[in-house]
Structure 1
Amino acid sequence: MKKALIVIDYTYDFVADDGKLTCGKPGQAIENNISTLIEQFIQQNDVVVFANDLHVENDPYHPESKLFPPHNIAGTKGRELYGSVKDLYVTYKDCVISFDKTRYSAFAGTNLDILLRERGVEEVVLVGVCTDICILHTAVDSYNLGYKITIPEYAVASFNEIGHKWALGHFKSCLGASII
């Protein structure tokens, strides 16, 4: 079964200590695990996807502008991939899929489903941040689109520990995801 690793929002604003909407230490603690998975998927000739949040400064129409401080603003350092994940992206950018997303789910308003189906992907492995927001919404859309879902618990994090734990349970009990 062809798999895709989807690296969600592992950017400076979501991970660095001084990021605008950071997970902080929990997000930083999963860096090596995500990097290891990227390397494994590349070596196995599986699909690797980078889906990164994109916002426009002072956008009064985006619903997140009422919920969170400005983050992942176009043209800022906050949009850059974080740490070794950024280094791997630079190394492998010619053999991975990378795109911007403007909603929580990597599927919402993007052509991700088409890209995965073109490559024969049947299973998605979701990693990154935030477990209870963008990972969760991507997982729900994955479920609704018929993909098998795997969530490596050691490669997802959130700034909300209660939400993180709840989402892990929800993935398993409501979406039939494998939690490893």
Structure 2
Amino acid sequence: MALSAGIVDQRFYGRISRNFDFWMECSGLAEEKLTTSVDKYIEETTKSNTMLSIFGYCSTSLSLQSRIDKLVDLLSVGKVLLSCQKPTKNIEAVLRLFLALVCSIPSDIPLHWLSEDITALLYARWRHYWKRAAKVPQFCEQFDVIVAFLFPCFLLDDLTLPAQNAVKGMLLYILALRPEIVRRYMEDKYEIWEKLIL
């Protein structure tokens, strides 16, 4: 029998498992900052697919404003990690959570969050959900915030290939819709233009 969120409260937090705590945080049942959840996800490398599925599935029920707020908070965490020069694997973890947030938007083809390899599925399917998100004005208003995270990621040399492709793809989509946002990061940087466009 599935555990109902209606009978779970703060007393369960820290008493069952890290995955359970993570679910409580993502469901809004535990009063923890998003930074705490991101740290848990980064630390639990062996169970990262499980946590990624939990994060994405819980995000499907978010209102538009809550989704935007979470996006801004998540990318703020990512920018802090970048500024502190944390390992690339930590940055890539934030990128995966960001993709999960994008892919959790309502769609005619919902993502299969119980997939055993949700990471590969996110990298394969993100474009479908991105195109839907890009039709939402409130999402497009966050392009400045998104590029402020994605562009430093684009300059990292040791991102995995799927992550590189996703970052480049999202920057190209934003370049097509709001070119002035991306261009300000690339003035007189011809080699970076070449890397992005070619």
Q: TM-score, normalized by length of structure 2?
A: 0.27
- Highest Rg: 1 or 2? 2
- Considering Cα pairs closer than 8 Å and 6+ residues apart, tell me whether 1 or 2 has the greater RCO: 1
Higher helix residue share:
2
Q: TM-score, normalized by length of structure 1?
A: 0.29
Higher strand residue share:
1
